[in-house]
Chains A and B, each alone.
Chain A
Amino acid sequence: MKELAEKYARRLIIAGLAEAPLVCGLEDEIVWNREDDRCAMLAQVIAGMHCNALICAEPAEPYRTILSFLVRKYPIAITPGDCETRTFLHDLPVSSIFSAEAILAHLHRRKSVTVAEAKSLQIVTFGTVSPEQAFVTFSSVCFSAFVLFFADYLADLRASRVTAEEQAAFARAVSLLNPPPAEPPELLRGPFTSENQVIAAMIEAGLYTVGFRLVDSYFGNISCRLDDTVYISQTGSSLDELAGCIDPCPLDGSSCAGITASSELVAHNEIYLRKASRTILHGHPPFAVILSMDCDVADCPNRGQCHVRCSLARFIRDVPIIPGEVGTGPTGLCHTLPPAITNRRGAIVWGHGLFTTGTTDFNEPFSNLLDIENMCRQEYFARIRAATDQKNKN
């Protein structure tokens, strides 16, 4: 347990989510990754619920700036705009008191609580089977706050309702952004002819996708076709730890061993059947997600249901934006993604993430993922400038 607590404390730091996290694991006694004044109070939280792991940490920048603003704007709960967070976390409750009682009141209902007192801001999350669960929730809270913040700002700017406080938070958050990732790395060259090569290439590409912050580690997926088998990352696997987490799935569906495969297996399969792709990469780069939700069609009858209903042919330059939910339901992206991506270098799923494909190895989908995200980032700030100019004109 101690090892797991330390592992996920490290991961929070490496992922740029927190600088000094407190992580505990619990079996018949509590173990912390380190000592801290808050441990005694948090032990009361743990005693008041059925869990075996807890994380409490101040988010790192720019999340801290972003959340500090959001908790004032939404003092009860933050409702994420992106679909995946909304599916899994529903909403992100906010508390203004850092006490066991206040935290428990929220964690009895939800997987996280963001506690904002005068000077401090902490995210508290928990798990019932492992610290990993608390980590995934923590990372989702940060990701969805980021997406919501930048999407809100653009919308507010257009509607001329940006407050001074929002403006200051935006300027600060932008100044704290990592510089856009530069050149893509040299990845293993295909065509691949053996299972070992495929797996090595997938592990490598997964590692870089997380390293370049193109996905919050747990929610992407990656696959590679070799003959009539699709090798795909397992559901809930961390893209930077893919060794042992890749399922071989026959294209004809003759084995169910892939029951643990990513929920997007059907979409991947369908893409391989339609186009000569050999590799697929799926990440959640934030600016692609933010832009996918930026739509100015007035009076659209599908407003509020964009993620499943949008029927407009929307693009960011050459890259289509399509509706579709996670998985295989009637409004699942397995129906919308394959036709949309067939003659394209990638496609963005509304409020969710980006899929790219390659014909031999992961160099192509990786550089496409990177390019498209950089393009979206530029486009985002271009739209900000346009909205600012418009405002100044009026």
Chain B
Amino acid sequence: MNKMTGWTGRVLHIDLTSGETTVLAPPEELYLRFIGGRGLAGSFLRPQVKLPWDHPDMPLLLFTGPLVGTAAPTSGRSTVMSRSPLTGTIADSSVGGRLGFQLKRAGWDGIIITGKAQTPSGIEIEEERIRITNASHLSGKTTSAIFNAFADGRRSVAAIGPAAENGVAFSALMVDRHHAAGRTGIGLCFAAKNLKYLTVAGSGKVRVHDRQALLAAREDILRLTAASPVLMGRHGFSCFGTGSLYDLMDSRRMMPTDNFQRTRFEQAGEMNAHAYREAYQPEKYGCMGCHIRCKKIARSGGARGVSMPEFETMSHFTALIGNIDLHLVLTANALCNDLGLDTISTAAALACYRELAGDIDLTPCLLDLVTRIGTAADDLGRALGRGAQDFARARQHEESAMVVKGLELPAYDPRGAYGMSLAYALSTRGGCHLRAYPVSHEILRKPVATDRFTYSGKARIIKIAEDQNAVVDSLSACKFIFFAAGLEEYARAYAAVTGLAATAEDLQNAGERIYYQERIMNAGNGFTAMDDDLPQRFFTEAGSGDESLPIKPLDREAFLAARAKYYRIRGLDEQGRPTPEKITELGLR
């Protein structure tokens, strides 16, 4: 009998080859060390991580954290994890919607899926009951078709689209229609198991140690978010969605334009979140248990019910590829969601193609190109579907692939924020801003502003933030709320839920362990300092600044010096590899 609160103490193992399911009861110590979500998933991935991504024994993991399903704010999230078909690194994505919430209420801290089904299959979890279904009739169907097929509103639904079934390396997993586990090709990991969809429904209550203390922590967190202009302000995420960053990136001259050849997009003023609001009168929508509700869904403009693009999509489907048609952004976003494509990687692959083709106008054929990628319709579609790095390399122009470790970069140009250059280079899942999220202090001034044009102090800031966000993904909460609250408040929520006398520092220590374990896994697959690097362009070409705001190329020496500092601070050797001492210190033998 589970004596823990917060966790259910049960993990479900499903072997798709045999169709057998087993219930695991991980030792309490494992929970304490890895919390849940991304941390716990990582500890189940590690023993198998050297296998090829499509090996039947490679686990596909979905884990929630102790706060999921409780009154802690933004705690409806979960982590999907495996090894990335796109990058070869670990692959993980924090995903919203109701998936984690339902899984937890069904009595599971996580599920481990191994093996490979004979035919396209689905997994249906309802409380204790697990059904593996034949999904052949859904093969090739879009994600909307799957969501429509399960439109009973009760269960949470996760599905892949045709892109994954066609082998696109950056396929996404779509959840509850409007949410994506977008990055690193998690969708393809589902396809590798012949798994088309997963549904979960649960009705149990998550046990909480001290409800009053949890409500007190919740009050503190809500008050902090109310005081946050970024989250709840007039121009913040709650009103405009993440798209509210668009104007800011433009004014800071860090909007990646023409495949990062420039950093200013002249038409940005007309393509901002306000323009979308005028055109589509979007309504607010959010993940389970969230009061910020940063998602937006169109109500008019001939797009009723369609997800509004996130900031990254808004930026990459305009500036990065030279498009000035707002409606085309919305349509391309919807098409990517339907096909199950990661919008960032899709746009970035197209931007790479466009640059190599001489900056041609992609807009007339944009939707056609996206479809060709998602359906692997022809040579070009298939080539692009292997990702920008593979595409550029095959054409002997690797320098045009704007990727780190093979993962296409999101919409913040690092020449305008030096911490971001480190964050990209060092992220354990490749070119991603979310691991350390330095936008918070370099641009959004939280918890205080840092000078965005210096490396001074950044190595340690990045390390601390990576650890913190590893905790956030493990609890599991939403990174956005950390623009306002901190581990100080979330430690109190965690302590109230679990009954453990944990401090912010204890959680931060667990975060360090979780992150280091990811470095261990990547190092085991041959990743070294050579991979902790940025595309050459950032060191040789200036961005689009002017006299009052020059955007210079990054100083390579300074970048390498900061990276070396980071290695020392993190306890890695000069090649960025884990050291035996640190492994022992963190109890990761």
Contacts and interface: CB of A to CB of B under 8 A. Distances in A.
B226 A332 contact: yes
Minimum-distance CB pairs A-B, first 3: A329-B226, A108-B505, A326-B227
A157 interface: no
A28 B459 contact: yes
Contacts of B456: 1, 4, 27
A128 interface: yes
Interface residues on A, range: 35 or more
B282 to A, nearest CB: 14
Nearest to B238: A328
A28 B448 contact: no
A28 B230 contact: no
B551 to A, nearest CB: 15
A132 B273 CA distance: 32
A142 interface: no
Interface stretch (A229-237, A286-294, A382-390): A229-237
Interface stretch (A10-18, A255-263, A315-323): A255-263
Contacts of A130: 441, 448, 450, 457
A52 B457 contact: yes
B447 A128 contact: yes
Contacts of B223: 87, 325, 329
Contacts of A249: 235
Contact of A260 (B222, B224, B248, B465): B248
Nearest to A264: B229
Interface string B477-514: 00000000000100100000000000111101100100
A128 B504 CA distance: 12
Given A255-B274, A259-B235, 18 more contacts: A4-B457, A28-B565, A50-B509, A87-B220, A88-B227, A108-B505, A129-B461, A235-B229, A235-B446, A256-B273, A257-B248, A259-B244, A261-B233, A265-B234, A265-B235, A327-B226, A327-B232, A328-B233
B247 A257 contact: yes
Interface in A74-129: 87-88, 90, 104, 107-111, 127-129
A49 interface: yes
28 contacts: A28-B459, A48-B505, A52-B461, A108-B503, A108-B506, A111-B488, A128-B447, A128-B461, A129-B447, A129-B461, A130-B441, A130-B457, A234-B449, A236-B447, A254-B274, A255-B235, A256-B243, A256-B248, A257-B235, A259-B230, A259-B233, A259-B245, A259-B248, A260-B444, A261-B235, A327-B226, A327-B233, A328-B234
A304 interface: no
Given A26-B460, A111-B488, A265-B233, A127 B247 contact: no
A194 B227 CA distance: 31
B445 A237 contact: yes
Given A28-B460, A130-B448, A266 B274 contact: no
A249 B251 CA distance: 12
B459 A266 contact: no
A282 to B, nearest CB: 14
A43 B145 CA distance: 60
Contacts of B443: 260
Contacts of B444: 259-260
A347 B119 CA distance: 70
Contacts of A26: 460
A274 B512 CA distance: 51
A237 B446 CA distance: 11
A376 interface: no
A256 B268 CA distance: 12
B448 A266 contact: no
Nearest to B505: A108
A235 B234 contact: no
A136 B448 contact: yes
B457 A236 contact: no
A179 interface: no
A28 B563 CA distance: 11
B314 to A, nearest CB: 11
Chain B CB within 10 Å, residue with most, of A111, A132, A260 = A260
B240 A256 contact: yes
A269 interface: yes
A255 B448 contact: no
A235 B446 CA distance: 9
B447 A133 contact: yes
Interface residues of B, number: 57
A338 interface: no
A59 interface: no
A328 B506 contact: no
Contact of A263 (B229, B247, B250, B273): B229
A27 B234 contact: no
Chain B interface mostly: helix
Interface of A: 1, 4, 25-28, 48-52, 87-88, 90, 104, 107-111, 127-130, 132-133, 136, 234-237, 245, 249, 253-263, 265-266, 269, 325-329, 332
A325 B449 contact: no
A130 B244 CA distance: 26
A326 B229 CA distance: 10
B23 interface: no
Given A127-B448, A132-B448, A265-B234, A255 B269 contact: yes
A129 B246 CA distance: 24
B39 to A, nearest CB: 16
B226 A258 contact: no
A236 B236 contact: no
A88 B457 CA distance: 24
Given A1-B457, A28-B569, A109 B234 contact: no
Contact of A52 (B235, B272, B460): B460
Contacts of A327: 226-229, 232-233
B227 A263 contact: yes
B467 interface: yes
A63 B181 CA distance: 51
A79 to B, nearest CB: 13
A129 B450 contact: yes
B568 interface: yes
Contacts of B542: none
A108 B495 CA distance: 14
Nearest to B217: A90
A111 to B, nearest CB: 7
B449 A236 contact: yes
A28 B456 CA distance: 11
Contacts of B449: 132, 234, 236-237, 245
B464 interface: yes
Given A50-B467, A256-B274, A263 B233 contact: yes
Contact of B235 (A4, A111, A128, A256): A256
Contact of B274 (A25, A108, A253): A253
Interface string B335-358: 000000000000000000000000
Contacts of B235: 249, 253, 255-259, 261, 265
A27 B568 CA distance: 10
Given A253-B235, A254-B274, A327-B226, A133 B448 contact: yes
Contacts of B505: 48-50, 104, 107-109
A262 B224 contact: no
Chain B CB within 10 Å, residue with most, of A249, A326, A332 = A326
Nearest to B226: A329
Nearest to A270: B234
Contacts of B509: 50
B336 to A, nearest CB: 23
Chain A CB within 10 Å, residue with most, of B232, B236, B460, B464 = B460
Contacts of A261: 229, 233, 235
Contacts of A256: 235, 240, 243-248, 272-274
B237 to A, nearest CB: 8
Contacts of A50: 464, 467, 505, 508-509, 512
A327 B568 CA distance: 41
A27 B457 contact: yes
B241 to A, nearest CB: 10
Contacts of B508: 49-50
A327 B226 CA distance: 5
